[in-house]
A and B are shown apart, each in its own frame.
Chain A
Amino acid sequence: MKNFSGKVLFLDRSDINTDEIIPAKYLTEITKEALTPYLLEDLSLPSFNNKEDIKDKVVIVTRENFGCGSSREHAPWALEVNGINVVIAENFARIFRQNMYNCGMMAIELSNEKIAHLFDTYAGKNTSITIDIENDKIIVSSEGASEEIDFKVGEFDKTLVLEGGWVGYADKKY
């Protein structure tokens, strides 16, 4: 299982698309590692610096419709090679969400209220999140305080995370 515990990157915008996560000009790379320097290179978000802000992060917290647009699995891969294995959002584009779980990564959906709470309480602070997949809990800690937030993950998605992705599971089963 991948690492689901670490520092949080807050991206305060909806509809962050796949071309912003990884521009098409880098899709000519044929290894995942080659995508490392280009993650979020074209993100349209004031004061965001893709060289500095991504460093050491494991979790992204964002708003609605993250990963809309292209089917490119290069988007989750670009996150993965930078150590980011979890995205928490109000909702996701279907293909991006499935790609995350297919890679054994997590795309967690929370209500509008819970996402707003995370932004209001923690954005701008040094915040860490741990995903407790056994108990469906997000543990948020920041500046000495911590809280737990419940989330739901489907059985299929959970199985993909525990099995490390769809290829191994499908090969055994079909």
Chain B
Amino acid sequence: MGKTLAEKIFDAHRVDMPFPDTHVLKLDRVFCHEITTPIAITDLMARGMDRVFDPTKIKAVIDHVTPAKDSKTAEQGKILRDWAKRHNIKDFFDVGKNGVCHAIFPEKGFVRPGFTVIMGDSHTCTHGAFGAFAAGVGTTDLEVGILKGVCAFHFPKTIKIVLNGEMKPGVYAKDVILFIIKELTVNGATNMVIEFTGPVVDAMSMESRMTLCNMAIEAGGTSGVCYPDMTTVEYLWDFIKDEFSSKEEALKEYSKWKSDDDAVYEKVCEYDITALEPMVTFGSKPDQVKTVKEMTGTKVDQIYIGSCTNGRIEDLREAASVLKGNKISEDVRGIVSPATPAIYSQALKEGIIEIFQDAGFCVTNPTCGACLGMSNGVLANGEVCASTTNRNFNGRMGKGGMVHLMSPATAAATALEGKIVNSNLYKS
């Protein structure tokens, strides 16, 4: 009987099985940010156990509220900063060098096929795009990960998604994942890994694959995963070229991180997405999804383009191609947050930042802030936001606010119109 990718990663990392279906895995990466890590640090200090298992495997960033907005967030940053320094954690990204965790860590080449990754952040599933098992965990699991380099999991079954056909103009990875969440529901993949496969995924960039895997948690999934291929190797090449004599050799090595043909799945869902239209959420659950056509004309107050879902260069390019030469509606505010300094610099070079500013957008530094209503674009009671983020929970972007999730292109078109609209109207 064949094995799934998740099963192979579990087999390669299992250090103990203290109880039935309790798999203690060795960790290749423990990622940290300033919201969920400080309490783990202070707890370790209080227990007299202020140690780290391996400073080279721990990576940390201040990203949720940055630069600090008040004394409390300044203190959170300070606890993380002091700890990184104390333990010689070299890959610590502070103000000026910091970006959204699930964008900057892949960009730095920290994730490889076959890795185990945890972070105190539910969107850690993003890193599965590299063929890794990457799971969001709470502060206690994070604390043990920091201290011992292990984490316990129940064995995850796998749902295989096969995406056939091709995406038509105006349809992006975001539309595909919103459609899949609608199909699976918010609870449909709980305790499971979601594998994204098929010709559509094969043709996707790493950025698009990260968008898919990022929202696996919105269907309850433990990790999203894609199989490593030449696209993965190309993305990582600068970081791995000393390890392999050629890209082909790297591909050969990484190709072991895929499911066997006779692997056993919880279920296999096959979709032809050629007819898929741009999608958008309504309501306050990520599985409440309609077509943009059905939601056309819905008024919004703010547009937000950014986050670990859609703040990468490809996303900014798509939005800019809609905005170019146009002005956003007088009735809305536009905010764009490039997800990392490198993305920001690239967008500057390509003239994308200028396009956003000419259209009337506010360009902020890289941060998670607005996505979870912490800073840089919080909604007022009763306001509506067209957002490229991942959660439309009640009050998520501000108490009493409403969020419609959509692709960067749809968000850009919505900014021009002041109402939800198909981006194809604005493309030359």
**A interface residue numbers (CB < 8 A to B):** 14-15, 17, 19-20, 23-25, 27-30, 32, 42, 44, 64-65, 68-73, 76, 91-96, 98-99, 102-103, 154-156, 159, 165-167, 170-171, 173-174
Q: Which residue of chain B has its CB nearest to the CB of A166?
A: B140
Is B277 at the interface (CB under 8 A from chain A)? no
Contact, CB under 8 Å: B19 / A156:
yes
CB proximity of A30 to chain B, nearest CB, Å: 6
Contact, CB under 8 Å: B36 / A71:
yes
CB proximity of A120 to chain B, nearest CB, Å: 22
Contact, CB under 8 Å: B139 / A73:
yes
Give the 9 A-B CB pairs with smallest separation, nearest first: A99-B138, A73-B138, A102-B140, A24-B372, A155-B19, A28-B72, A73-B139, A71-B136, A156-B22
Mask of B164-208 contacts with A, CB within 8 angstroms, 1/0? 000000000000000000000011001100000000000000000
10 A-B pairs whose Cβ atoms sit less than 8 Å apart in the complex: A28-B374, A65-B220, A71-B36, A71-B136, A93-B220, A95-B138, A154-B154, A167-B144, A170-B148, A173-B18
- Interchain CA distance A65-B121 in the complex, whole Å: 18
Contact, CB under 8 Å: B152 / A166:
yes
CB proximity of B4 to chain A, nearest CB, Å: 17
CB proximity of B406 to chain A, nearest CB, Å: 19
**B interface residue numbers (CB < 8 A to A):** 15-16, 18-22, 24, 35-36, 38-39, 42-43, 47, 49, 64-65, 70, 72-73, 75-76, 79, 120-122, 124, 136-141, 143-144, 147-148, 150, 152, 154, 186-187, 190-191, 217, 220, 222, 284-285, 372-374, 391, 393-396, 399
Contact, CB under 8 Å: B285 / A15:
yes
Of A24, A95, A170, which contacts B150 at CB under 8 A?
A170
Q: Which residue of chain B has its CB nearest to the CB of A159?
A: B19
- Interchain CA distance A94-B186 in the complex, whole Å: 12
Contact, CB under 8 Å: A154 / B19:
yes
Contact, CB under 8 Å: A170 / B144:
yes
Known: A28-B70, A95-B122. A154 touches B22 (CB 8 A): yes
CB proximity of B270 to chain A, nearest CB, Å: 25
- Interchain CA distance A138-B392 in the complex, whole Å: 35
Contact, CB under 8 Å: A94 / B120:
no
Contact, CB under 8 Å: A156 / B18:
yes
Known: A28-B76, A156-B152. A23 touches B373 (CB 8 A): yes
